[in-house]
Amino acid sequence: MFCVDCGKELKIFREGACIDCYLKNHSFSKSPEIIDIFVCSHCGAYKYKNTWVTNLFDETLKRVIKNSFYISNDLRSVDITTNYGEEKERIECKVTISGLIDDVKIDEDHEILVRVRKTVCDVCSKRYGGYHEAVIQIRADKRKLSKDEIVVIQSAVEGLVEIMQDKGNRARFITDSTEEHGGLDFYLSDKGSALTITKKVQGKYGGSIKQSSKNIGMKDSRQVYRMTYLLRLPSFRKGDFISYGGSFFRISSISGNKVHVFEISSWMEKVFDVNALEKASILGGEELIRDMILVSQTEDEVQIMDPKTYRTFDVRKPENITFESKMVRIVGLDDEPYLLPEENSDPENNTKAK
Ligand SMILES: [Zn+2]
Ligand SMILES: [Zn+2]
């Protein structure tokens, strides 16, 4: 057969023409002159169709090209490459559409102008407008939060929200956070993540959660409620000495509603429910511990000396143990001294040389 275009005797590809002539007279892609890409000036998200995505610029550009170019269905294994200089407001961009027509690879080049338009995305417009569906209130029972607790809880809550955002949940955000009445308030975009976060903080620091809701009006013809999750942390903290049921204890750890304690008189580990300890009185923390010089010891007792006053006194041992070091730690509770285990017998201090 002869090609209708070049007249050579060649295999006919389509419409009576050989493949070279056919490709010369056809194009398989068409481009607009201008493409607009919308970017959020707060968070840098890009708009694609009607959603906002946190993609890279080039990734977004290629998706928009794919969507706004005409690309023939005859072209298979389509690949889009872009070539441009600096990312600025107006970008001259060379776009190459490549693909296969039967087994022949073709490339078609286009020049477009990409306009990067700054705007505010859906999430940021809510966030900077103070939108919130839920409030997390963190308070402590019968006391204010300590400075340490405020710092640690603040960063824990922010960290949890970041994890949610990293998992692709960009609609979850903290609108605001404030220190209120010796506690912390967080204003959150949505109820679900607020409850999840409150439960996680409770899991780590104990306490009880109370929920309340408030009608904040109509939106899209339905009632909208704002939730408040109040987490009340226990009055005591890890490391505190407490008096409860005629015994003294030190708080070893708190998780959820379980409190692990160390009984001072018996050196036994015990576990209580947070609620059970509501009536406990808090005697103090670390500041009640004193270092004493060990003078001598018997099976039942140690004789110790206060390094400040040189006064000596006897203290009963909680069990038949032998103190190894020259110093011992005591805690004064209700004017009575009690021995504490040697520091290197704490699991946390196991690395210390004996
Ligand atoms: Zn031809
Ligand atoms: Zn944004």
Rounded to whole angstroms, the Cα distance separating 36 from 90 reads 9
Residue 187 has pLDDT above 50, yes or no: yes
CA of 55 to the centre of ligand 2 (A): 12
What is the tens place of the pLDDT at every residue in 95-127? 999 999 888 899 999 999 999 999 999 889 888
44: number of Cβ within 10 Å:
12
- Identify the nearest ligand to the CA of 16 by its number: 1
Please tell me the predicted confidence (pLDDT) of residue 352: 36
Separation CA 319–CA 126 (nearest Å)? 63
pTM (2 d.p.)? 0.68
Q: What is the pLDDT of residue 350?
A: 38
70 Cα: distance to centroid of ligand 1 (angstroms):
26
DSSP SS3 for 39: strand
pLDDT at 311: 93
pLDDT at 198: 95
104 CA to middle of ligand 1, Å? 15
Give the mean model confidence (pLDDT) for residues 301-311. 93
Ligand found nearest the CA of 122: 2
Of the listed ligands, the closest to the CA of 7 is 1
Task: Say which ligand is closest to the CA of 2.
Answer: 1
- Say yes or no to pLDDT of 320 above 50: yes
Whole-number Å distance, alpha carbon 63 to ligand 2 midpoint, is 19
| Centroid of ligand 2 to alpha carbon of 220 (angstroms) | 23
Give distance in angstroms: CA of 98 to centre of ligand 1: 22
CATH placement of domain 234-279: 2.30.30
pLDDT for 36: 94
Ligand nearest to the CA of 5: 1
Phi-psi region of 73 (alpha: psi -120 to 50; beta: other; left: phi over 0): alpha
**Distance (Å) from CA 116 to ligand 2 centroid:** 15
* Helix (H) or strand (E) segment spanning residue 205: helix 191-205
Q: How far away, in angstroms, is 42 Cα from ligand 2 center?
A: 5
Q: Topology of domain 285-354, per CATH?
A: OB fold (Dihydrolipoamide Acetyltransferase, E2P) (2.40.50)
Mean pLDDT of the chain: 90
Q: Which helix (H) or strand (E) holds 203?
A: helix 191-205
DSSP-assigned states of every residue in 25-50:
T--SEE--SEEEEEEETTT--EEETT
| Confidence band of 348 (pLDDT split at 50, 70, 90) | very low
Q: Which ligand is nearest to the CA of 43?
A: 2
Ligand nearest to the CA of 24: 1
What residue segments make up the domains of the chain, in order of their start?
31-122, 130-231, 234-279, 285-354
Q: Identify the pLDDT of residue 344.
A: 58
